[in-house]
Amino acid sequence: MKSNYLYNPFIKIAGFKSLILGLIGFVIVTYLAFKTGTHFNGLLNIDFARDSAYHVFLTENLLNWICISFFMYISGLIFSQSKIRIVDVLGTTLLSRIPLIIAPAIRTIPIFQSFMFQSWQMYFIISFYMISLAWTIVLLFNAFKISCNLKNEKLIILFIICILLSDICTKLIIKLII
Amino acid sequence: MKTITFTFIACVFLCLNSCSQDFRKLSNSEVDNTKVQIANDFASNYLNTLKNGKTYIFRDEAIDAIKNQLTEENQKLIYQQLKSQFGDFQSSEYAETWIQGNNKSIQIIRLKATFEKSNKNLEIRVVLNDSNKIAGFWIKPWSDMFK
C-alpha cells in the first residue's frame, strides 16, 4: 500500500498542499539544475551544459510545468464532466516533476560534472534520468487522472496528446525566448 | 519487478563495459598555464580583430593547415555567421584542458566565450601541439560532454 504513494501520492496530497510541496521541489530542482548545468529543455529532454545564468534554468523549468498544466487543464475543461480546479492541476503536475531531481543530484558529484560523450558517466546519468522520467510520466498520468477526473480510453489518449503537445510547445518557446 | 531490476542493472553494466575513455580531463594542478594563456590570447585576439572588421594576420602561432583554412574570406564568413546568430564577441575565459590518453604533447583547451546576443556561453576550442602552435580551432555551443 505504501509503495502506491510513490506513483500515486495524489490520493492523499492534492490542492494547495500539493502546490506548496511542488513549489519546494521546484525550487530545489531548479537550483540544482543551475548549479550542475542540467538543462530540462523540453518536457522529455535533458542536456548537460554549465553555460547560462540562473534565469535560463528557471525559464526552462517554469515552461515545462506551465505547458503541461495548460494542456491538461484545457483537456479537463473540454472533456471532463467534473468541475476542474486549476490549483489541483498546477499542484499535482508540479509535484510530479520532483523525481527529476535525480539527474542534477548525481551531477553534484565531481566526476559527473564534465565528462566524455559516450563515457560511462554519460550512460550512468542517462540511465538514472530514464528511471526518473518514467516515474515522472507515471505521476503526471495519475495527476491528470485525479485532477481532471477522466477515465478509460479518453484518459489515455488525452494524456498522450497533452505530453506530445507540451513537449513540442516547450521546445518551441525555449528556442524562441532563450 | 526483480526481472526488470536485473535487466536494468545488466544493461547499465553492458554500457559501462562497452565504452572506452580515450580522453581525460587534466586536473587544475596538471594544467600548463602558459598553454592556457597562449590559447586564450589567440582566441581573443582573433575574434576581436574580426569584430573590428579587420582580418587576422597569422604569423608563426599556428600550423600551416590552420593558416590555409582560415583565409581572409573564410574568417569573414565564419564571423558573419557567428554575429548573425549570437551577436558580437565579448570575452572568453579558460574552462578546462583535455588530453588523449597520457599524451600531453597535444592539448585541447576549452574556453567559455560570451557573445552579445546570446544567453548561453559558446565553446572556443583551441588545440595546441608540442611546440605550442595552434593545431585546431573551433567555435561551437558549450556542452559539459566533451566530444
Per-residue pLDDT reduced to its tens digit, B30-65: 999 999 999 999 999 999 999 999 999 999 999 999
Average predicted confidence (pLDDT) for chain A: 94
Q: Are B22 and B101 in contact (CB under 8 A)?
A: yes
The residue of B5, B143, B145 whose CB has the most chain A CBs within 10 angstroms, and thus the best one to mutate to test that interface, is: B145
CA distance linking residue A124 with residue A117, whole number of Å:
12
Model pLDDT for residues A113-151, shown as the tens digit of each residue: 999 999 999 999 999 999 999 999 999 999 999 999 999
> Given pLDDT bands bounded at 50, 70 and 90, which one contains residue A108?
very high
Contact A62, A134 (CB under 8 A): no
Please indicate if any CB of chain B lies within 8 Å of the CB of A37.
yes
Q: Is A175's Cβ below 8 Å from some Cβ in B?
A: no
**Quick check: B11 contacting A, CB < 8 Å?**
yes
Higher-confidence residue: A66 or A11?
A: A66
At residue A44, does pLDDT exceed 80?
yes
At the top level of CATH, which class does the domain B22-141 belong to?
alpha beta
Q: Judge whether residue B6 has pLDDT over 60.
A: no
**Residue A14, pLDDT score:** 85
How far, rounded to the nearest angstrom, does the alpha carbon of residue A87 sit from its chain's CA centroid? 16
Question: Touching check for A47 and chain B: CB below 8 Å?
Answer: yes
In whole angstroms, what is the distance from residue A42 CA to residue A53 CA?
Answer: 18
**Whole-number Å distance between alpha carbons of B4 and A109:** 27
Confidence of residue B128 (pLDDT cuts 50, 70, 90): very high
Confidence of residue A4 (pLDDT cuts 50, 70, 90): confident
B14 touches chain A (CB under 8 A): no
| Total Cβ atoms within 10 A of residue A85 | 15
CB A123 within 8 A of CB B15: yes
Residue B20 predicted with pLDDT over 70 = no
Best A3, A7, A119 member to test B by mutation, with max B CBs in 10 Å, is A119
pLDDT band at residue B134 using 50, 70 and 90 as cut-offs: very high
- Under the banding of pLDDT at 50, 70 and 90, the label for residue B10 is low
User: Residue A5 has what pLDDT?
Assistant: 83
DSSP 3-state assignment of A177?
Answer: helix
Query: Does A3 have pLDDT greater than 90?
Result: no
How, if at all, do strands B122-128 and B145-146 pair?
unpaired
How much is the ipTM here?
A: 0.83
Which three cell numbers, joined as nine digits, stand for A27?
A: 525550487
CB-CB under 8 Å, A178 with B142: no
Q: By three-state DSSP, how is residue B52 classified?
A: coil
Computed from CA positions of residues A116, A120, A124, A126, in that sequence, does the dihedral angle turn out positive or negative? positive
| Whether pTM exceeds 0.80 | yes
Boundaries of every domain in chain B: 22-141
Q: Is the pLDDT of residue A1 over 90?
A: no
Locus of grid cell 597569422: B58
CB contact at 8 A, A59 and A174 = yes
More confident residue, A91 or B22: A91
Inter-chain CB proximity B142 and A49 less than 8 Å:
yes
Helix axes A120-148, A86-96, angle to 10 degrees: 160
Give the orientation angle of helix A54-79 with respect to helix A86-96, to 10 degrees.
130
- From A51, A82, A99, select the one nearest A149 (Cα to Cα): A82
Q: Is the CB of residue A3 less than 8 Å away from at least one CB of chain B?
A: no
Chain A positions in Cβ-Cβ contact with residue B8 (cut-off 8 Å):
127, 131
Confidence category of residue B102, pLDDT binned at 50, 70, 90: confident
Q: What is the pLDDT of residue A45?
A: 93
Residue B15 C-alpha, separation from nearest chain A C-alpha, in angstroms: 7
Question: Would the CA dihedral through B133, B136, B137, B143 be positive or negative?
Answer: negative
* Gap from B8 CA to chain A (nearest CA, Å): 9
CB-based contact, A127 to chain B, within 8 Å: yes
Tell me the C-alpha distance between B133 and B144, whole Å.
Answer: 25
Q: Would you call A51 and B15 a contact, using CB atoms and an 8 Å cutoff?
A: no
Q: Is B13 on the interface with A (CB under 8 A)?
A: no
